[in-house]
Amino acid sequence: MSERIEELEDRTRFEPPEVEPQIIERWLASGLFHPEPDGEASENYSIAIPPPNVTGSLHMGHALNGSVQDTLIRYNRMRGLRTKWIFGTDHAGIATQAQVEKALLAEGINRHELGREAFVERVWEWRAHYGGTIVEQFKRLGASCDYSEERFTLDEGYARAVMQVFVNLYEKGWIYRDRYIVNWDPGSRSAISDLEVEERRETDTLYSIRYDVEGGGSVTIATVRPETMLGDTAVAVHPDDERYRSLVGREAILPLVGRHLQIIADDYVKMDFGTGQLKVTPAHDPNDFEIGTRHELDQVSVIGEDGRMTAEAGERFAGLTVMEAREAVVAELEREGRIVAREEYEHEVPYSHRSGQRIEPLISLQWFMNMDELARPAVAAVREGRVRILPESQRRVYLDWMENIRPWCISRQLWWGHRLPVYYCETCGHVNVALSAPDACGECGGHLRQEEDVLDTWFSSALWPFATLGWPRDTPELKAFYPTNVLSTARDILFLWVARMIMMGIELTGEVPFSDVYIHSVIQAPDGRRMSKSLGTGIDPLQEIDRHGADAVRFGLLAMSSAQDVRYSAEKIQQGQALANKLFNAVRFALLRIDASLGSERAQAIEPSPSPSTVEDRWILSRLTRALADTAARIEQYDFSHAALGLYDFVYGELCDWYLEIVKQRLPDLAEAGSEDDGRQELAATLLYVLRETVAMAHPLIPFVTEELWRYLDDTGKLLVGSAYPSARENLVDPRAEAELARTIEAVTLVRGWRDSVGARAGQFVAARLCADGYELTAPLLGRLARLRLLSEDEQSQALDAVDTSPANNGDALLTHGGEASAAPAVVASIPIPGGTVEVLSGEGLDLGAAERRREATKQKLLAEIERVQAKLERPGFVEKAPAAVVEGERERLRRLRTEMEVL
Partner RNA sequence: GGACGCGUAGCUCAGUGGGAGAGCGCUCGCUUCACACGCGAGAGGUCGCAGGUUCGAAACCCGCCGCGUCCACCA
Nearer to RNA by C-beta: 416 or 495? Answer: 495
The distance of closest approach from Cβ of residue 627 to RNA in the complex, given in angstroms and rounded to an integer, is 15
Which parts of 751-770 interact with RNA (CB under 7 A)? 752-753, 756-757, 762-763
Our finding on whether 324 is near RNA (CB under 7 A) is no
Nearer to RNA by C-beta: 110 or 637? Answer: 637
Residue choice 57, 205, 218, 585 for contact with RNA (CB under 7 A): 585
CB neighbourhood size of 110 (10 A): 11
Mention every residue, 6+ apart, whose C-beta is less than 8 A from residue 583. 14, 651, 694, 695, 698, 702, 705, 706, 709
Query: How far is residue 119 from each of residues 131, 310, 395, measured CA to CA in Å?
Result: 17, 28, 42
Task: Give the Cα separation of 267 and 304 in Å (integer).
Answer: 30
Helix/strand number for the chain, H first, E second: 33, 29
Task: Give the Cα separation of 541 and 64 in Å (integer).
Answer: 9
Q: Of 76-84, 429-437, 488-496, 609-617, which segment contacts RNA by CB under 7 A?
A: 488-496
Which parts of 859-898 interact with RNA (CB under 7 A)? 865, 872, 875-878, 881-883, 886, 889-890, 893, 896
Nearer to RNA by C-beta: 735 or 763? Answer: 763
The distance of closest approach from Cβ of residue 756 to RNA in the complex, given in angstroms and rounded to an integer, is 4
Which parts of 806-865 interact with RNA (CB under 7 A)? 857, 865
The distance of closest approach from Cβ of residue 198 to RNA in the complex, given in angstroms and rounded to an integer, is 7
The distance of closest approach from Cβ of residue 279 to RNA in the complex, given in angstroms and rounded to an integer, is 6
The distance of closest approach from Cβ of residue 752 to RNA in the complex, given in angstroms and rounded to an integer, is 4
Tell me the site size for RNA, rule CB under 7 A: 91
Helices (H), 599-726: 600-605, 615-636, 640-649, 661-663, 666-672, 677-698, 703-713
**Could you give the maximum distance between any two Cα atoms of the chain, in Å?**
125
Closest C-alpha to 280, from 343, 217, 211:
211
Nearer to RNA by C-beta: 162 or 782? Answer: 782
On whether the CB atoms of residues 460 and 88 are closer than 8 A, the answer is no
The distance of closest approach from Cβ of residue 55 to RNA in the complex, given in angstroms and rounded to an integer, is 24
Query: How far is residue 244 from each of residues 220, 287, 647, 820, measured CA to CA in Å?
Result: 12, 21, 73, 111
Nearer to RNA by C-beta: 449 or 895? Answer: 895
On whether the CB atoms of residues 321 and 311 are closer than 8 A, the answer is no
Closest C-alpha to 100, from 76, 85, 116:
116
Nearer to RNA by C-beta: 2 or 12? Answer: 12
Contact letters (x/-) for RNA, 212-241, by CB under 7 A? Answer: ---------xxxxx----------------
Which parts of 273-312 interact with RNA (CB under 7 A)? 273-274, 276, 278-279, 286-287
Nearer to RNA by C-beta: 79 or 896? Answer: 896
- The vertex-243 CA angle with 239 and 248, nearest 5°, equals 50
Residue choice 129, 245, 260, 270 for contact with RNA (CB under 7 A): 270
Nearer to RNA by C-beta: 121 or 892? Answer: 892
Mention every residue, 6+ apart, whose C-beta is less than 8 A from residue 251. 213, 214, 260, 261, 262, 263
Residue choice 400, 607, 793, 794 for contact with RNA (CB under 7 A): 400
Residue choice 195, 252, 359, 480 for contact with RNA (CB under 7 A): 195
Nearer to RNA by C-beta: 129 or 245? Answer: 245
> DSSP 3-state assignment of 345?
strand
Whether omega for the bond prior to residue 526 falls within 30 degrees of 0, making it cis, is: no
Nearer to RNA by C-beta: 94 or 499? Answer: 499
Task: Give the Cα separation of 465 and 487 in Å (integer).
Answer: 9
Nearer to RNA by C-beta: 186 or 276? Answer: 276
Our finding on whether 176 is near RNA (CB under 7 A) is no
Which parts of 550-569 interact with RNA (CB under 7 A)? 560, 562-567, 569
Which parts of 414-473 interact with RNA (CB under 7 A)? none
> DSSP 3-state assignment of 598?
helix
On whether the CB atoms of residues 263 and 250 are closer than 8 A, the answer is yes
First to last CA, the chain: 52
Our finding on whether 198 is near RNA (CB under 7 A) is yes
Contact letters (x/-) for RNA, 661-700, by CB under 7 A? Answer: x--x---x--------------------------------
Which parts of 85-104 interact with RNA (CB under 7 A)? none
* DSSP letter, residue 498: I
Residue choice 306, 657, 672, 867 for contact with RNA (CB under 7 A): 657
The distance of closest approach from Cβ of residue 706 to RNA in the complex, given in angstroms and rounded to an integer, is 15
Contact letters (x/-) for RNA, 693-732, by CB under 7 A? Answer: ----------------------------------------
On whether the CB atoms of residues 263 and 219 are closer than 8 A, the answer is yes
On whether the CB atoms of residues 818 and 824 are closer than 8 A, the answer is yes
On whether the CB atoms of residues 122 and 100 are closer than 8 A, the answer is yes
Nearer to RNA by C-beta: 316 or 784? Answer: 784
* DSSP letter, residue 273: S
Our finding on whether 588 is near RNA (CB under 7 A) is yes
Our finding on whether 15 is near RNA (CB under 7 A) is yes
Phi, psi at 303, each rounded to 5°: -115, 135
CB neighbourhood size of 45 (10 A): 22
